[in-house]
């Protein structure tokens, strides 16, 4: 494999969005102020935005305290984290020894080094805890896992320097996001099972009530002129949750493993929900790149696109003929 660009996700994470990043970024708003990612996981979309110099201010959050501590340690104590990881041997004995350690009794850098080591050497990069909150994933069968990636950790630390990192449930976003900001929500997905419609509690711990609360928050944010994007499974539940004039629902193709070993993969559609119009957003993105330098330096030139289109406000859409671009006649949306 060639040399991968840095910074990139430093953890393996269930539902990580590295593969879908192209499709999601094609659908981002043309302009936004602060970027928020309240279901952070491995942060695939944040790192991609950072690499492409498309993010200025960011607030990253998740409810998993060990995950957030790891981000904080890398941001503030990266040299210590690297130092600790470089002293860790790859062995089954050491894996179980460090797994037994209570993270609460460790310093922040020690907690982060433990988390990275367990994530990179444990079975399938799973994060799973028992009822007492103790990590219980077995040792993985990797020959030489790269749990110390010095170059990437340093780049991640650099990328996080001015980023606010919070351990908080997703619904606190309503107190933080301001008009013109962009929030990307990547919640645990609604399962693609036939009984999903009738299940209030999903096995991933994120139930129908949580999905409804998320949708309500998306409406509240839309009324406050905040751009939102949500990814979720292509299910009747998700389609009906977001069947509202506030939202545009779009399909994207994702490569999904069909068994836990990940050897066999199939293409499935997933949904991307936005509160701004995708056709116009992609057209304007093109215009933005081509003609930004010609725009006068006024408030109108820097205003959020949804405001320009009068959409997130619930105001009636203005009829406008889309400009002629290379993709004329196509939406560019797979
Ligand atoms: C699908 S993963 C996000 C994956 C991420 N986009 C990536 O690229 O790795 C969902 C994340 O939501 C977090 N989470 C679950 N319930 C939450 C809640 N109520 N509030 C905030 N975060 C939550 C989990 O800890 C997990 O990291």
CB 187 within 8 A of CB 214: yes
Of 120, 149, 178, which residue sits at a domain end?
A: 149
- Whether residues 115 and 180 share a domain: the answer is no
CB 72 within 8 A of CB 109: no
| One-letter-per-residue 3-state SS of 10-34 | CCCCCCCCCCCHHHHHHCCCCCCCE
207 and 257 assigned to the same domain: yes
CB of residue 41 inside a 6 A radius of ligand 1? yes
Residue 42 neighbours by CB under 8 Å, 6+ apart: 9, 10, 11, 12, 13, 16, 18
**Same domain, residue pair 112 and 219:** no
Q: Domain with 323 in it: what CATH number?
A: 3.40.50.150
Q: Which domain holds residue 143?
A: 69-149
Q: How far is CA 216 from the centre of its chain?
A: 19
Instruction: Return the pLDDT at 278.
Output: 75
Query: How many residues are present in the chain?
Result: 334
Instruction: Clarify whether residues 190 and 298 are in a common domain.
Output: yes
The answer to the question of residue 49 being in a domain is yes
Does the C-beta of 16 come closer than 6 Å to ligand 1? Answer: yes
Contact 266, 239 (CB under 8 A): no
* CA-204 nearest atom, ligand 1: 15
Q: Domain for residue 160, yes or no?
A: no
Quick one: 190 and 302 in the same domain? yes
On whether residue 162 sits in a domain, the answer given is no
If you measure from the C-alpha of residue 49 to the centroid of ligand 1, how many angstroms do you get, rounded to a whole number?
A: 18
β-strands 265-274, 248-257 pairing = antiparallel
How far is it, in rounded angstroms, from Cα 190 to Cα 258?
16
- Residue 84: CATH number of its domain: 1.10.1020.10
Tell me, using a 6 A CB cutoff, whether residue 186 lines ligand 1: yes
Per-residue pLDDT at 262: 55
Q: Whose CA is closest to atom 5 on ligand 1?
A: 41
> Based on the domain organization, do 110 and 33 belong to the same domain?
no
205-235 burial code (b ≥16 CB/10 A, e <16): ebbbebbeebbebbbebbeebbbbbbbbbbb
- Ramachandran class of 180: left when φ > 0, alpha when ψ lies in -120 to 50, beta otherwise: left
Residue whose Cα lies nearest atom 7 of ligand 1: it is 16
> How many folded domains does the chain comprise?
2
71 Cβ inside 6 Å of ligand 1? no
76 neighbors 52 (Cβ within 8 angstroms): no
For ligand 1, atom 20, name the residue with the nearest CA. Answer: 169
Q: Are 49 and 174 members of one domain?
A: yes
Blockwise average pLDDT, block size 10, the chain, 334 residues: 84 94 95 97 98 97 97 98 98 97 97 98 92 92 95 98 97 98 97 60 78 98 98 96 96 79 78 85 57 54 40 37 34 27
Q: Is the CB of 170 under 6 A from ligand 1?
A: yes
Whether 157 is covered by a domain: the verdict is no
Give pTM, 2 decimals.
Answer: 0.83
Whether 1 and 48 map to the same domain: the answer is: yes
Cα dist. 202→90, 141, 210 in Å?
A: 35, 29, 10
Same domain, 195 and 255: yes
Mutational pocket test of ligand 1: of 37, 62, 135, the residue with most ligand atoms within 8 Å of the beta carbon: 62
Backbone angles phi, psi at 124, to 5 degrees: 60, 15
Say yes or no: CB of residue 138 within 6 Å of ligand 1.
no
pLDDT value at position 287?
56
Amino acid 195: pLDDT: 55
Cβ of 64 less than 6 Å from ligand 1: yes
Specify whether 219 is located in the same domain as 331: yes
For residues 54 and 102, membership in a common domain is answered with no
**Contact indicator for 184, 24 with CB cutoff of 8 Å:** yes
d(C-alpha 247, C-alpha 81), whole Å: 42
Query: Does ligand 1 come within 6 angstroms of the Cβ of 188?
Result: yes
Question: 187 alpha carbon to ligand 1 midpoint, in Å?
Answer: 5
């Amino acid at each position: 494999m060639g040399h991968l660009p840095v910074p990139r996700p430093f953890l393996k994470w269930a539902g990580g969005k590295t593969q879908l990043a192209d499709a999601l970024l094609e659908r981002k708003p043309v302009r936004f102020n602060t970027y928020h990612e309240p279901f952070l996981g491995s942060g695939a979309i944040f790192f991609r935005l950072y690499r492409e110099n498309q993010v200025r201010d960011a607030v990253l959050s998740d409810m998993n305290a060990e995950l957030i501590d790891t981000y904080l340690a890398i941001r503030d104590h990266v040299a210590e984290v690297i130092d600790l990881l470089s002293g860790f041997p790859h062995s089954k004995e050491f894996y179980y020894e460090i797994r037994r350690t209570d993270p609460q009794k460790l310093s922040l850098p020690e907690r982060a080094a433990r988390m990275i080591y367990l994530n990179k050497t444990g079975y399938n990069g799973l994060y799973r805890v028992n009822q007492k909150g103790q990590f219980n994933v077995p040792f993985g069968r990797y020959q030489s896992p790269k749990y110390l990636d010095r170059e990437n950790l340093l780049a991640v630390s650099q990328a996080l320097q001015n980023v606010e990192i919070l351990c908080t449930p997703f619904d606190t976003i309503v107190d933080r996001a301001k008009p013109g900001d962009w929030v990307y929500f990547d919640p645990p997905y609604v399962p693609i099972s036939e009984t999903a419609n009738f299940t209030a509690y999903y096995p991933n711990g994120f139930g129908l009530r949580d999905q409804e609360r998320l949708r309500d928050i998306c409406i509240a944010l839309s009324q406050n002129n905040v751009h939102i994007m949500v990814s979720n499974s292509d299910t009747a539940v998700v389609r009906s949750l977001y069947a509202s004039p506030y939202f545009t629902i779009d399909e994207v193709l994702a490569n999904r493993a069909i068994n836990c070993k990940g050897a066999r993969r199939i293409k499935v559609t997933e949904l991307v929900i936005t509160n701004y119009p995708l056709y116009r957003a992609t057209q304007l993105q093109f215009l933005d790149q081509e003609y930004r330098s010609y725009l006068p330096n006024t408030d109108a030139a820097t205003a959020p696109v949804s405001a320009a289109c009068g959409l997130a406000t619930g105001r009636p859409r203005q009829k406008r003929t889309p400009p002629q671009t290379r993709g004329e006649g196509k939406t560019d949306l797979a």
